[in-house]
Amino acid sequence: MASKFVLKTASNGQFHFNLHAGNGESILNSEQYKAKQSALDGIESVRKNAQREGAFEIKAAAGGKFHFVLKASNGQVVGQSQMYASEAGAEAGCESVKRSAPDASLQDDS
C-alpha cells in the first residue's frame, strides 16, 4: 500500500489531514483549518518541508515520551506526530515522513 494524505472534515466543520505511511499507520497529523483550500495548502507545505534540512523538531513530553513537529520555513508548525516511547522512535517517524510525504497520494474524505 502506498503512502497517502487523508483529508477529513471535523465535527466542527473544519478540515484537517493525516499522512499515512505505506503500512497504513498515521505518521503526521495537521492542525484544523477553516477552509478546505488552506488544508490542501498545508498538505503541499508538508510535501515541501519534509525534505528541508532542519524542518523537524523532536520534543520530550511528560512521562519520558517523545514526539516531533514539522515546521515550515517561517517557523509555523504544519504537522505533528503521535507519542513515541523513545527518542529513536520519534527519529524513525521523522524519516518515515521524509520518505512518504513527497509522493503520497491524496484521499479526499472531506
Q: What is the pTM of this model?
A: 0.92
In a domain, 109, yes or no: no
Examine residue 110 and state whether it is found in any structural domain, yes or no.
no
What's residue 17's pLDDT?
98
Domain count for the chain, please give it.
Answer: 1
pLDDT score for 62: 83
Please report where in the chains the cell 513537529 appears, as a residue.
69
**Cell numbers describing residue 29:** 497529523
Q: Which residue stretches of the chain have pLDDT < 70?
A: 1
Domain of 12, in residue numbers: 4-103
- The whole-angstrom separation of Cα 82 and Cα 97 is 12
d(CA 17, CA 23): 17
What are the CB-based long-range contacts (under 8 Å, 24+) for 29-36?
Answer: 29/79, 29/80, 29/81, 29/82, 30/78, 30/79, 31/77, 36/7, 36/110
CATH number of the domain where residue 75 is located:
2.30.29.80
Looking at the domain assignment, is residue 108 inside a domain? no
45 in a structural domain: yes
